[in-house]
Amino acid sequence: MSDILKFQDSDEFICVLSVLYSGEARVKTEVQAGPLYRVLGSPLYITCSVSGFRNENTDKHFEFRMTKPSNPNRDIQIISSNDDNFGYSNHLIRVRKNEIALKRLSPNSVRFEIKSLLKADEGEYECTAVNLEGAYDGEYSAKTVVKVIEDSLSVSSSASTPLSLNEGEALTLTCLASSSTSQHTHLSVAWYLHKDGQEDAQPIISLNRDFTLSPGQGFERRYQAGLIRLDKWGEAAYNLQMAEVEPSDQGRIYCQAQEWIQDPDGSWYIIIQKNAEEMTLTVKATENRLSVKMQQAVNVAEGGGLHLSCKVDGSRVTVGEKLELMCRVRGPHMPVTVTWSVQREAKTPDTILTLSPNGTISWSADQNHYQLRVESRKTEVIYYLLVIASNQLAVIVNNPGTASCKNNENIENAGIKTIVSLDRNSIVMESKVDLGQRISMRRSKGPTFELTIRQARISDNGSYTCKVGEWLQDPRGEWYLLSTVSKSTVLTITEPGEYIYFSYFRNMFTCHIQLAQK
């Protein structure tokens, strides 16, 4: 239905307003529900999106206006996505300085940004989606209210002067964090360590806004052992306690507080974040990392034997890394017997190897997991034990081709499809490719894993990849996936076949294909 309005004066003006009625409105414009409480000097982000335009893939243009509480009837133009001169006076100056910006997120959404809020920025903001289709059908504008509040977050630390500790000593620091805002907010506090030479600081431990404690990466072990704590005392004190500092703790330590507010849509937002002053920590490493002690008081006669126990007490590593231990024997050269052993939890120590005075090595553990190296110097002998956490894997592919765990049946269609996979216990997982009853996999000796594809078809042509990963179990029983290896080959079938036979072996993998003709 159309309404035509005519106005006549000295000239004739005709305004045609076309309105389409189709029941429910087609176009809808949305912004974040307000009021949005933001801190003076902090950034403001408002997301505006539109739906219902006939062409969803073309970039839509948006305009932002505001009205101030002192004059709610006066619209102030701020910024437009298609008009560089859209803003009024002061806003246009801030737009040209990039202090106010409009960033496109998608063809149908943008994000309005103010880099640093002024008190004058408080008011009601309106986002308008520019209609280029002629007919109007729906809501082309949406509004939200922004409240600019004062910054009342205060953060300070108990120590700002450099501190020097010996390895193993205790460290206690206090962070005072509080806010006096009238709004309902939550605080989160975290202690950070910024190591020399590293671009980013790493969290030591944090108390989240929901009062949940979380250790930072690299500090989990000591947190679980109770050696790192973060305790809240009263309304504003957050104490960091490190029972035994390590050389890796050296750097600049500071606390950070974040003030959170919950917006009307239920999401939490950081309205302000502040760091306390840094405290430089120096940790002096103990020179002798091996402690030698007598098992019991004994009297040793001249020419008799003396048994000493060297205990390696370290923190030293990541699963899969190599660890080298050193035992240094100083003094005049004399016949000694050196035994390396490992004690797991409270069990009896397990002997790894014994080195006799004549150089003979007696292995009690798997020799593939350890290496021994001896350096004989003028006044000392050093015995190195290298602990190898994993074995290297190798894959050998034999012609004329390989059928394996993964199949790219059609290169043009793209995407690698998993035919079948096994977990670390060699249990066959469910196939993700619909091959009916043509596919099967079984384990035999070796271990050897055999893959059979019956009634081979031309559609089985493609690039096949065999991918193998090695799993390592740590002393706590946790399993970790180490590095994986894979090999690929192209399989071409020119005549109908009956089955494909494939096998591979652990550590040294051999892949075979047998193609039986009908």
Q: Which domains does the chain have, with CATH numbers?
A: 27-149 (2.60.40.10), 153-284 (2.60.40.10), 291-312+405-494 (2.60.40.10), 315-387 (2.60.40.10)
Q: Is 246 exposed, middle or buried (0-12, 13-18, 19+ CB in 10 A)?
A: middle
**What's the pLDDT tens digit per position in 152-174?**
999 999 877 899 999 889 999 99
Residue 410: the pLDDT is 42
Q: What pLDDT, on the 0 to 100 scale, is given for residue 488? A: 80
Residue 442's DSSP bridge partners are 450
CB 208 within 8 A of CB 188: yes
Spatial distance between the Cα atoms of 495 and 69, rounded to a whole number of angstroms = 81
63 touches 80 (CB < 8 A) = yes
Q: What are phi and psi of 368, to 5 degrees?
A: -70, -20
Do the Cβ atoms of 226 and 244 come closer than 8 Å? no
Q: DSSP class of residue 412?
A: G
Whether omega before 107 lies within 30 degrees of 0, making that bond cis, reads no
pLDDT at 425: 66
Instruction: At 321, list the tokens.
Output: 């890394």
* Strand-pair category, 462-473 with 406-408: antiparallel
Mean pLDDT, rounded, for 29-46? 95
- The β-bridge relationship of strands 213-215 and 228-233 is unpaired
pLDDT greater at residue 512 or residue 169: 169
- Among the listed residues 438, 476, 433, the one whose alpha carbon sits nearest the alpha carbon of residue 456: 438
Q: How confident is the model at residue 139 (pLDDT cuts 50, 70, 90)?
A: very high
Express each pLDDT in 207-221 by its tens digit. Answer: 999 989 999 998 998
Spatial separation of the C-alpha atoms in residues 277 and 451, rounded to whole Å: 63
Mean pLDDT of 425-439: 61
Give phi and psi for 407, each to the nearest 5: -140, 125
Q: Is the pLDDT of residue 388 over 90?
A: no
Neighbours of 90 (CB within 10 A): 13
Q: How confident is the model at residue 430 (pLDDT cuts 50, 70, 90)?
A: low
pLDDT at 487: 78
Q: What percent of the chain has pLDDT over 90?
A: 42
Residue 129 CA to residue 412 CA, distance in Å, equals 41
User: Look-up: residue for tokens 């960091």?
Assistant: 240
Model pLDDT, residue 141:
95
Which tokens is 233 given? 């005392």
Spatial separation of the C-alpha atoms in residues 114 and 385, rounded to whole Å: 60
User: What is the pLDDT at residue 517?
Assistant: 38
pLDDT in tens, 236-245: 999 999 999 9
Percentage of the chain beyond pLDDT 70 is 72
Residue 302 has pLDDT above 90, yes or no: no
pLDDT number for residue 185: 95
Residue pLDDT, tens place only, 111-122 = 999 999 999 999
pLDDT at position 468 is 80
- CA-to-CA distance for 513 and 398, rounded, in angstroms? 9
Strand spans (E) along 151-266: 153-157, 163-166, 171-179, 185-194, 202-207, 213-215, 228-233, 237-242, 251-262
User: Does the pLDDT at position 424 exceed 50?
Assistant: yes
In the structure, what pLDDT confidence band is assigned to residue 36 with cuts at 50, 70 and 90? very high
The mean predicted confidence, pLDDT, of the chain is 79
Q: Give me the pLDDT at residue 427, please.
A: 64
Phi, psi angle pair for 97, to nearest 5°:
-85, 0
Question: Does residue 9 surpass a pLDDT of 90?
Answer: no
